[in-house]
Structures are given as structure tokens and as C-alpha cells.
Amino acid sequence: MLLFSRRAAQGSRRRALRELYHSFVSENSPEAKGRALLLQWLTPAQRRQFEEQGYFDVVGCATRRPYRVQYGSVANVQEIDFEGQSGGVLCVAPEGYLVPGDVMLAQKIALETDELATLAVANRVAPVGRRRGSGGVGGPDSLSPAAAGINDQNTHGVLRFVPDRDFRNSSVVGALKDDQDQVADRRTGLPVEQARVAGPAGTNRDLKRRVTMLRDQTTRSKLAARQPNGRNPDRLTLHFLPLENLQPVLIAATAVLDLIALRPAWGMVK
Amino acid sequence: MVTQIVMDHTGYSRHEYDVDDIEALTEAERRFRKLTSEGFTAAVRTAAGESWRVFAFDPTAKETLFFRRLVGG
């Protein structure tokens, strides 16, 4: 019984020591220190917002524009317009390696005390879209991972996101196709206009035939343009030649046929 | 007690000194000049959490924070 109680006491002492060690490490890790420092320097409203939401808002000293500082150290500052909608994402941080709490504190002080200089050095990441179902500016989810990804100055690997798998059916792709069609029409004219260019057409059938002919000509000229000498080796070129160029060939062929036809007569002469 | 806080990879380093200690005060001023000449930004704050940048050593500032210059990420 005495042995059992001694072992139990040792176990609880060991457990208490382990908990003390873990709490010491968690309170004195760089991340914990940075976070504690950040909390000390935030205003009460910012501190409350950060503890509840994981981000805090700061107001730029020059433009009075609000910015949202998310927990993190890379591309974690989000511009917010005056209507509360999210804008671009700013990527700006102090030189060297710092923990997220330190980076966020530096960003807060920089935006609140020297906004224009901060914007001058910041790289802006343009959001492309939003995650489905998220409306307006939210928490860390308000910037969609599918959003985003093009930086107008630098390209960050971490910010390149893969689009949704069903992107082929998305309305964005449909709109892009429409845009491409419009661009193509601007270059070549609408199909009806192409037919008008081809000449007057009496019936719908004529119109269709002319459109088909124009399309074929375009295809042929594209194929010819692919070859450096303008010729397509797969189809040797006779049908590219206009009829008047073919005339000597036809005359020669006719003469050969005539000669063959006259051959028995030559034999009779001999 | 007055504190200078320098952000670094360990979170931060604190340097505390007594304003009545001339030697410690001189050392704090020397540290301020060295850090700001290296490109560090110095900032102080009010009790309400409002912060502003300082460009000269203020011996009465209760807490001065230093962080390196910002760069685009």
C-alpha cells in the first residue's frame, strides 16, 4: 500500500513537471512571444477583434482607408473599400525572419503611421474571385484560394491557386469564350458580313455556299501560312493554281491523248 | 523602468533601463541611434494602444519598439 502511494505521488509529480515544461515552452516560444507583444500594442477594439475573429482592422493614416490584417506573415493585409468590400491583398513585411505576431505589429504600425510609404513598397495581389458562399469581407476565408493569384509586380508560388475542377462548365469560361468569339468577329467580320464581302447572293443556299467557300479559302491560306515557303507538302498544289495557269497543262495532256489515238494510223502509214 | 523592444527571430529582445541611471541612458541612446541608422523603424505607443513613429531618442518614452524596414513580399 505504501509502495503504491509512493508510485502514485511520483507519477503526479512527473505529470506536473511535464505540464510546467509545456506551459513554459508554449509561453516562451517565438510565436507566443510575438503574439503577446502584438496583443500589448493593439488598441482594445483591435485586440477584441483579433481574439474573436483572428484578424484586426487598421485605418491608413493618409487615405483613412481600412485594411484588414490577417494572422500570418505573407500576403496577409487585405485592402477594404469604404463600402466594406474586400479589395486587393498587400504583401509587405519587415526584412528578415520574424514570427507572424511581429510581422502583423509592424504592418499595423506602418499603415497607421506611414501609409503611403508602406503602399509604395508593398506588392499588390489582385483577387480574381471569391469562394462560393462567402459574401463580403469575412474572416480568413474571405479571400478565396481560387482567388487570386496574379501579382502585378512579383509572382509568388504560394499565391498560385488551382481553379475548381468543373471550371469548363463555369460561367467564367463561358464568358471568356464569348469574348474570344467577339474578338474573332472583330478581326474577320461577322459571318453575314463575310458573305456580303463575297458578293451578292440570291438565295439562302447561295449565301451558305459563299460562306463555305470563304471558310475553305481561309483554311487553305492558314495551312499555306504554316509552311515557310507558303506550300503545303501534304496536298500538292494543283488545285491552288487558277484555271488560266492550268491551260498549258491541259493542252499538253490533250495532245498526248491525240497522239495515242493516232498511233494505229501511224503504223498504217509505215 | 523604460524599455526598448527589438523585434528579432526569437520574437523580440527587451532592453530595460532606469532613466536616472546616466550610463544606462547613454547606452539606450546609443542603441537607438545604431538601430535607426541601420534602417530600423522606431515607434512608441500610448496606453490606449495608439502608436506613432519617432525619429529622435525620447528618454521618457515608456516603451520603444524597433522593427526592420518594410519590403514588398
For chain A, the residue count is: 270
Q: How confident is the model at residue A93 (pLDDT cuts 50, 70, 90)?
A: very high
The three three-digit cell numbers of residue A92, written as one number: 509587405
Q: Hey, what CATH topology would domain B2-67 get?
A: Ubiquitin-like (UB roll) (3.10.20)
Does residue A122 sit in the same domain as residue A196? no
Q: Smallest Cα–Cα separation from B54: which of B36, B40, B39, B42?
A: B42
Q: Smallest Cα–Cα separation from A117: which of B3, B24, B53, B31?
A: B53
The pLDDT, as a whole number, for residue A140 is: 42
- Residue A212's domain spans which residues? 165-262
The pLDDT, as a whole number, for residue A28 is: 80
The three three-digit cell numbers of residue A224, written as one number: 499555306
Q: How confident is the model at residue B22 (pLDDT cuts 50, 70, 90)?
A: very high
Domain regions of chain B by residue span: 2-67
The pLDDT, as a whole number, for residue A242 is: 52
Say which of A32, A46, A94 has its CB closest to residue B67. A94
User: What predicted TM-score, i.e. pTM, was given to this entire model?
Assistant: 0.57
* Per-residue pLDDT tens digits for A108-163: 999 999 999 999 999 988 765 544 433 344 444 444 333 333 334 443 433 433 33
Given A163, A189, A212, the domain boundary residue is A163
What is the ipTM, given to two decimal places? 0.95
B chain contacts of residue A31, beta-carbon cutoff 8 Å: 11
Region A234-249: mean pLDDT is 54
Say which of B39, B53, B72 has its CB closest to residue A122. B72
The pLDDT, as a whole number, for residue B50 is: 86
Distance of alpha carbon B13 from alpha carbon B66, whole angstroms: 10
The pLDDT, as a whole number, for residue A152 is: 41
The three three-digit cell numbers of residue A21, written as one number: 515544461
Does residue A205 sit in the same domain as residue A128? no
**A19 within a domain of the structure (yes/no):** no
A chain contacts of residue B48, beta-carbon cutoff 8 Å: 43-44
Residue B45 Cα, gap to closest chain A Cα (Å): 7
**Contact yes or no for A31/A102 (Cβ under 8 A):** no
Q: If DSSP codes are grouped into helix, strand and coil, which group holds residue B15?
A: strand
Angle separating helix axes A2-28 and A30-41, nearest 10 degrees: 60
Q: Where are the alpha helices (DSSP H) in chain A?
A: 2-28, 30-41, 44-53, 100-113, 115-121, 171-188, 191-198, 204-226, 243-269
**CB contact (8 A) between residue B48 and residue A94:** no
Tell me which DSSP letter residue A21 carries. H
Q: How confident is the model at residue A4 (pLDDT cuts 50, 70, 90)?
A: low
pLDDT averaged over every residue in chain A: 69
Region A215-227: mean pLDDT is 63
